[in-house]
Structure 1
Amino acid sequence: MKAVIPAAGKGRRLWPLTENRPKPMLPVENRPILDHIVTELEATPVTEVILVVGSNRERVQSYFEDGRDRALDISYVTQEPQLGTGHALRQAESHVGDSVVVLNGDRIVDAAAIDAVWERHRQTGDPTVAITRADHPHKYGVVDFADDELVGIEESPHPDRVASEYINAGVYALPPEIFAALRETDHHGEHALTATLSELVATRPVRVVRYRGRWLDVSEPWDLLAVNRAILANTRTGPHETATVAPSAVVADDALLAAGSTVHPNATIDANTTTPAARPPSRSTI
């Protein structure tokens, strides 16, 4: 069982944070967004991950390497230029060969979402996409569906004309025929996977699976604060055993101090704060 994760995007709305790193490598809870996604994959039947890289790809490759420290084999393909998620998936075609799980590289979900789409695809053989409720669906890809079949996905519709409260969760299980469909619907420009799925419903069923678990998206710089807070709410916080905290310093209970951190006298670490791990031989200081 293989998974493809497009991780080549430049994240223009997050500039200048993405000046020297791809969007999926922005940190939340001291780890890149992409690390959270790959970690969830380790709890599924997936054994091989293909990361589609592009802008600043060395930041991704040097962090994950070949997956030797994980329960996954990790390999890479390059998307250059970056022409959307459909174009990204096509770059991995020669590495796939069978049905495949596809995940957005900038949305954190639980392993349950991956298992759910894979199981529905295994039962039906049809392309399958996870959908989830959102408070402001017009900001995302709004899903129109009937029973468990997709009708269409509209990206960023007008707030007064949304088809449902459900949005595309960015988790897919797709048959090998998806690559032929991508080629047929490629109109030689920015090419989204969702556009292909919306066209595919005219010729075959595309299934939807409702997902009610964790779904964390980073689209704007301030989203990093909200996602960091959400993850810390379910993380054991406090100072790492190798962190040093001066007696006169104040550290909030839900702050996370990484290995090797030093908090100096009279410093205050507020709630929902994380400190990066120190890189030997130096120590991070505050």
Structure 2
Amino acid sequence: MKGVILAAGLGTRLYPITENKPKHMIPIGGKPLILHLLAALKSNGINELILVVRHGENFTRNLLEDGGKFGLKIEYSTQEVPTGTASAVESAEELIGEEEFLVVYGDLLLKEELIHRLLKSFEEHGEMVLAAVPVKDVSQYGLINSRGEKLMKVEEKPEGIGGEEGNLANAGLYVFKKKEIFKAIKRT
């Protein structure tokens, strides 16, 4: 299974920290955040990665190169205009191949166990899985609308919603079957 790391965002909520470097390059525990993410993915057997970066972003390429020094294989895809998760994933379509793939936001600090649980859930349920987290104010996140275990819709940063409508936010970690997700992306 390949991993797709979405790292093309503008980082506006962390400005001015992100004025000169992307969010995923901010140091946590003495090293860039993205290195923690790479280690968590590698420990779960995800050794082939595609990093979606924005046009002209060289910090990531200069640090990670082809991934060899980390025991990984890394390819890059460019999201010309950062217009959201679906277009970022779509920009990596040709590199993904025909297999299932994991998608993760590049600015997340995740425990290896969370990735393991998501992969196990995918093995059991098959089509698509995503991680969600309960929050008090969903207006800063993607609201997950579901019926039981079936995802109905993800509404990005809704205003005035919560409580009765739900409080599960998109946690930025997914596993997809290629064929199904790209059909859905092309419909949007």
Q: Which residue of 1 aligns with 2:178?
A: 176
Q: How does 1:222-237 map to 2 (within 5 A)?
A: none
C-alpha separation between the residues in 2 aligned to 1:106 and 1:49? Answer: 15
Deviation at 1:140, TM superposition (A): 1.5
C-alpha separation between the residues in 2 aligned to 1:151 and 1:161? Answer: 16
Contact 2:137-2:162 at 8 Å conserved across structures: no
Q: Which residue of 1 aligns with 2:124?
A: 123
Greater helix content: 2
Q: How does 1:180-195 map to 2 (within 5 A)?
A: 180-185=183-188
Q: How does 1:1-286 map to 2 (within 5 A)?
A: 1-97=1-97, 98-159=99-160, 161-162=162-163, 163-177=165-179, 178-185=181-188
Paired residue type of 1:142 = L
Contact 2:136-2:162 at 8 Å conserved across structures: no
Deviation at 1:37, TM superposition (A): 1.3
TM-score (norm 2): 0.88
Deviation at 1:113, TM superposition (A): 2.1
C-alpha separation between the residues in 2 aligned to 1:134 and 1:66? Answer: 37
Contact 2:138-2:162 at 8 Å conserved across structures: no
Contact 2:10-2:22 at 8 Å conserved across structures: yes
Deviation at 1:174, TM superposition (A): 0.3
Shift of the 161–124 alpha-carbon distance from structure 1 to 2, 3 Å rule, reads: closer
Is there any run of 5+ residues in structure 2 with no aligned partner, and where?
A: none
Contact 1:90-1:179 at 8 Å conserved across structures: yes
Give the SS at the match of 2:144. strand
Shift of the 167–62 alpha-carbon distance from structure 1 to 2, 3 Å rule, reads: same
Between Structure 1 and Structure 2, how many residues are aligned? 185
Give the SS at the match of 2:68. coil
Contact 1:140-1:168 at 8 Å conserved across structures: yes
C-alpha separation between the residues in 2 aligned to 1:81 and 1:134? Answer: 29
C-alpha separation between the residues in 2 aligned to 1:125 and 1:143? Answer: 19
Shift of the 130–160 alpha-carbon distance from structure 1 to 2, 3 Å rule, reads: closer
C-alpha separation between the residues in 2 aligned to 1:135 and 1:32? Answer: 29
Deviation at 1:117, TM superposition (A): 2.2
Q: Which of 1 and 2 has higher RCO (CA within 8 Å, sep 6+)?
A: 2
Deviation at 1:120, TM superposition (A): 2.2
For the pair shown, the structure with the greater C-alpha radius of gyration is 1
Contact 1:141-1:155 at 8 Å conserved across structures: yes
Contact 1:10-1:55 at 8 Å conserved across structures: no
C-alpha separation between the residues in 1 aligned to 2:155 and 2:86? Answer: 15
TM-score (norm 1): 0.60
Is there any run of 5+ residues in structure 1 with no aligned partner, and where?
A: 186-286
Give the SS at the match of 2:20. coil
Q: Deviations over 1:53-94 (max 9, x none)?
A: 115521001111111122321111111122211111111111
Alignment root-mean-square deviation, CA: 1.9
Contact 1:37-1:105 at 8 Å conserved across structures: yes
C-alpha separation between the residues in 2 aligned to 1:159 and 1:133? Answer: 16
Give the SS at the match of 1:69. helix
C-alpha separation between the residues in 2 aligned to 1:5 and 1:145? Answer: 25
Paired residue type of 2:166 = S
